[in-house]
Structure 1
Amino acid sequence: MDTEVTGIVERKTPLYDTHVKYKGKIVPFAGYLLPVQYDTGVIGEHMAVRTRCGLFDVSHMGEIICKGKDALKNLNMLLTNDYTVMAEGQARYSPMCNEEGGVVDDLIVYKVRDDCYFIVVNASNKDKDYAWMKAHQSGDVVFEDISDSVAQLALQGPKAMDVLKKVAKEEEIPDKYYTCRFDCMIGDVRCIISKTGYTGEDGVEIYMAPEDAPGMWELLMDNGREEGLIPCGLGARDTLRLEASMPLYGHEMDDSISPKEAGLGIFVKMDKEDFIGKKALEEKGPLTRKRVGLKVTGRGIIREHQPVYIGDRQIGMTTSGTHCPYLGYPAAMALVDIGYKEPGTAVEVEVRGRRVAAEVVKLPFYKR
């Protein structure tokens, strides 16, 4: 479903009419029309996910199948993480680098079975990622973009599993973080249940056919009344991920920022035989800049792309920033020169011509 907005074709997710019904404030995002918030407001939605539970439409995300005899070989070449030893139903996060060691995207790969993997990519990068994979494929492998046949809901928060247990069989609910169960039933809907999320809370992401999404939404909302389940929009999704210090493509990483600079070195397996970008990362040598957390100690809210100073010297640039509703203070993430990465380092951030005092803190800001 498409609609014309200011000359650009914006797509609707299968839940567009549901968002309108629930009084979602619709905005264009990554080529889709999505709710930025509902009547509760961003702060109310954020607090619901931290203390109870919230439901998000993330059907704009991209899904790609990688299958064939050389599927594993291709994944290990495309991605910085190592997928060699992996159980069926296991999920693994990875950056995907370009030849210069910058990040094309970050994504999650699920192992369906030997020679078949389910890949979830960022909405705004889906076409770029798919083209990149196709351009670098080798041997007996097929990459297939199945995004249009998949809808996705995220049920997140400390009470999320209580809601899920009302509508799904215990044995079909994954128990470990970063694992999933394929071919599950929630109500009468066939789906994938994945114990993952982008909020820093417990919860699941549920994949299903687009036509089943509105019914799934209503089933979860009906069964989540007791737990205080409310619909949540893009605004709370962003404040939650920032509070939990989760990087966002186009902010904490991009084609010019390496995964190591973004603080994702744990997902870069340099002992792997090879992967795209490995040589460039080796040649870069020791890190010269690093992602850090900044806690505002002065007055003001820091946003993205604002210069970070010590005295007259600019030492970096913020990548994301907001007021953290649950923690109760403004915070930001920034890329700073490596010599200033230690927690406790006092800095200033220039906000519209005015300096705001902050200090470097250890990430994540929030951990459940």
Structure 2
Amino acid sequence: MKNIALHTIHKSLGAKMVPFAGYNMPVQYEGVTAEHHTVRDSVGVFDVSHMGEFLVSGKNALALLQKVTSNDVSKLEIGDAQYSCFPNEDNGIVDDLICYKIKENQYLLVVNASNIQKDWNWISSYNDEFGAELKDLSEDYSLLAIQGPKAVEAMQSLSSLDLADIHFYKFKIGDFAGVENVIISATGYTGSGGFEIYCKNNEATQIWNKVFEAGAEFGIKPIGLAARDTLRLEMGYCLYGNDIDDTTSPIEAGLGWITKFTKEFVNHEALAKQKELKPEKRLVAFELDERGIPRHGYDIVDGNGDVIGNVTSGTMSPCLGKGIGLGYVPRILSKAGTQIQIQVRKKAIPATVVKLPFYKE
């Protein structure tokens, strides 16, 4: 197991550390529910330095990315970020990612920690045709997600940039916490606003300490990966390995909005046909109508007890106080208001298909 740059700090704060994607990561500090509400109500900080970063440069950088990603990278201006995925050749997804346009002919891709080597191999296999310059920066950079409705106010004293002027899925590069050339990105995985801060590993301790000094009066706290999961699920954000993987298509997963058929990309013809004919299964959101907690892998059943799908993500929502989840069902059962049942141990608990997000401010 590798240690992230701030490992010692997390241990000193009493974090419960667990192995995740090859790294020792802080899963919780004071408890999932308390940490969840800290982010929803004020501001918290996640260390997600296990994520991967690839720099793609050169005159053919855009052409390569147009080929391997589903979204239209040509639409990006400098300072824009874009959610996307790498489709594979079998109607599945290699990974989902965020693409940043740093400058002309230079892009930063942020990929899931568990897929760093897999993604690198995938992009490299297509780069023979394009000859873009690829650099894997994953081991050199730390990533802090400062999330919550008070993030802008709490962090403004740390930068000469106007943080309120960095709008959703935009970023700026500038000074932060006494460090120059930091990427300050108005992105995140919680649905409660805030920033993601990209810095070099040797800058992470200074930034972490100053973030907590500046945020002290706002009740800032460290937040673990467990609360990151409950927060993202309340928003209905997909988690790779659960809700999307090598066998699920972006069309099935409700990611048609990041799948642009205005260009040619890996497997675009098959995905366009799937969209036209409509997929046989769809990823849906559901709420339990009775008490219970749906979990990843639980069966979704019909009134006769026959298995019709599976839960891909589930939890007890801290904000809603009820069981919520995502799962794949036949398309005919994917409409909001449809009644399904979740097999929780020996009991089939009634549930209702709902529109996302679960959590609405």
Q: How many residues align?
A: 357
- 1:117-156, aligned counterparts within 5 Å? 117-137=107-127, 138-156=129-147
- 1:291-330, aligned counterparts within 5 Å? 291-312=283-304, 313-330=306-323
- 1:1-368, aligned counterparts within 5 Å? 10-38=1-29, 40-137=30-127, 138-171=129-162, 174-272=165-263, 274-284=264-274, 285-312=277-304, 313-368=306-361
CA distance in 2, matches of 1:362, 1:255: 25
Note the C-alpha offset of 1:174: 4.8
CA distance in 2, matches of 1:290, 1:133: 28
Q: Output the aligned Cα RMSD.
A: 1.3
Q: What are the superposed Cα offsets for residues 59-103 of structure 1, whole Å, 9 maximum, x if unpaired?
A: 000000001111001000000100112210100110110011210
CA distance in 1, matches of 2:224, 2:163: 27
Note the C-alpha offset of 1:223: 1.1
Using the size of structure 1 for normalisation, the TM-score is 0.94
Note the C-alpha offset of 1:280: 2.1
Distance 1:48 1:362, change over 3 A: same
CA distance in 1, matches of 2:60, 2:27: 41
CA distance in 2, matches of 1:231, 1:320: 24
What fraction of aligned residue pairs are identical, expressed as a percent?
40
What residue in structure 2 maps to residue 5 of structure 1? none
Indicate conservation of the 8 Å contact 1:320/1:332, yes or no: yes
Indicate conservation of the 8 Å contact 2:174/2:180, yes or no: no
Using the size of structure 2 for normalisation, the TM-score is 0.96
Distance 1:37 1:189, change over 3 A: farther
For structure 1, which runs of at least 5 residues remain unmatched after alignment? 1-9
CA distance in 2, matches of 1:211, 1:362: 43
Note the C-alpha offset of 1:188: 3.5
For structure 2, which runs of at least 5 residues remain unmatched after alignment? none
CA distance in 1, matches of 2:103, 2:240: 28
Note the C-alpha offset of 1:183: 3.7
CA distance in 2, matches of 1:343, 1:249: 24
Q: What are the superposed Cα offsets for residues 86-125 of structure 1, whole Å, 9 maximum, x if unpaired?
A: 2101001101100112100000000011111011000000
SS at structure 2 position matched to 1:201: coil
Indicate conservation of the 8 Å contact 2:56/2:132, yes or no: yes
Query: Which shows bigger deviation, 47-56 or 341-350?
Result: 341-350
